Amino acid sequence: METLSDIDQIIEKYAGNKSDFITGYADLTGLLHENYTGYSYGIVIGRKLDYDIIDSISRGPNYEYYLLYKKINKELEALVRQISDELSMLSMESIPVSPTTSDEEINNKFSETLRVDFSHKMAATRAGLGWIGKTGLLISKKFGPRLRLATILVRKPLFLTQKPYNKSKCGKCNICVDLCPANAANGKLWNVDTDRDEFYNPFKCREQCRILSRKNLNTDISICGICVSVCPIGKKIHE
Ligand code: B12
C-alpha cells in the first residue's frame, strides 16, 4: 500500500467515480497537534461538489446547497472510515479525520478561536493539492475551491507525489474578497508563514453565514458558500 493508485482503487471501490476526487500524500511531520503523535503522514482526499448547485449559490446559500453539504460530509466520513479499515487489514494503523467538526470539538476553545486541532487545508497544501485563496479556501487546480476535504493519517512515510504549495497563486484576483457579503478578507496573499487571521476574519464570516442561513433556509446553521461559487478557478474543471 505505497502508491496513490492503490488509494485510488479503494476510492473507486467505495465511492464509484474516481474523477470526482483528487488525492495526495502529505508529510505532516512537526505540524500536527499532540493528539496525533506518531501519525505524521496523511492521505488527503478532495471530493468535488456538484457544479450546478455551486453555480446557483453565487448570491447566497439555498436548500440544495445545504442538502449537498450534508450529503458530502456523510459520504466523506464513511469513505475515510472505509479506507482506514482497508489499511488496518493491511496492518497499517491509521486515523480517519472527519470532514466536519465533531460535538466534542465544539468547546470554549473552539468558540473563542474557530480553530480545531486538525486542518484539512494544511494537509492539502502539504499534499500538493492546492494553495490557500484570499478568503481562506483551499484552491485546487482541478476543481478550484469546489470541493470538500477529508484526511486519513498514517504512521508510515508515504510515497509523496506532488510538491507542496507554499504560497498563493491568486495573484491580483480579488473576486472572492470583493463579493464576500461579510467583508471577511482584506486581500492579502497567503503563504505558509501567514496566519489565517492576518488575512481573513472567521467571526465576520460565520456571523454573515448565520444571517444568510436564517434568511434563505430558515435554519440556525452557518453556511454561505459565495466565495466557493465565485472563484474563477473552479468555474470549469481543469484536467
Ligand atoms: C472552523 C471552520 C469554519 C469556520 C472558520 C473558517 C476558517 N477558514 O478557518 C467557519 C464557520 C467560519 C467556516 C466557514 C466555512 N467553511 Co469551514 N471549516 C472549519 C473547520 C472545521 C476548521 C478550520 C480551522 O480549524 N481553521 C483554523 C486555521 C488555522 O486552519 P485552516 O484555516 O484550516 O488552515 C490554515 C492553516 O493551516 C494554514 N496553512 C495551510 N497550509 C499550511 C502549511 C504550513 C506548513 C503551515 C504552518 C500552515 C499552513 O493556512 C490555512 C488558511 O489560513 C474546517 C475542517 C477542518 N477540520 O479543517 C472546515 C473547512 C475549512 N470549511 C470548509 C467550508 C467549505 C466552509 C464554508 C464554505 C461552508 C459554508 N459556510 O458554506 C465556509 C467558508 C468560509 C471560508 N471562506 O473559509 C471546507 C473548506 C474547503 C475548501 N475548499 O477550502 C473545510 C476544510 C471543511 C472540509 N472538510 O472540506 N468554517
pTM beyond 0.85? yes
Q: Which of 237, 228, 232, 236 is nearest to 59 (CA)?
A: 228
132 lines ligand 1 (CB under 6 A): yes
Tell me the pairing of strands 94-97 and 130-132. Answer: unpaired
How far is it, in rounded angstroms, from Cα 126 to Cα 160?
Answer: 10
178 C-alpha to ligand 1 centroid (Å): 19
Ligand 1 atom at shortest distance from the alpha carbon of 224: 72
Query: Is the torsion defined by CA of 176, 177, 180, 184 positive or negative?
Result: positive
Q: For the chain, how big is the Rg over CA atoms in Å? A: 17
205 lines ligand 1 (CB under 6 A): yes
209 lines ligand 1 (CB under 6 A): yes
225 lines ligand 1 (CB under 6 A): yes
Residue 88 CA, chain-centre distance (Å), reads 25
Q: Which of 121, 127, 125, 116 is nearest to 154 (CA)?
A: 127
Convert 174-234 into a string of H (helix), E (strand) and C (coil).
Answer: CHHHHHCCCCCECCCCCECCCCHHHCECHHHHHHHHHHHHHHHHCCCCCCCCHHHHHCHHH
* pLDDT value, residue 169: 98
* pLDDT value, residue 101: 81
120 C-alpha to ligand 1 centroid (Å): 7
205 C-alpha to ligand 1 centroid (Å): 11
* pLDDT value, residue 238: 63
Mutate to test the pocket of ligand 1, among 29, 70, 120, 169 (most ligand atoms within 8 A of CB): 120
Judged by DSSP in three states, 200 sits in: strand
141 lines ligand 1 (CB under 6 A): no
pLDDT along the chain (239 residues), means of 10: 66 82 94 94 95 95 95 95 89 92 80 94 98 98 97 88 94 98 98 97 97 92 95 81
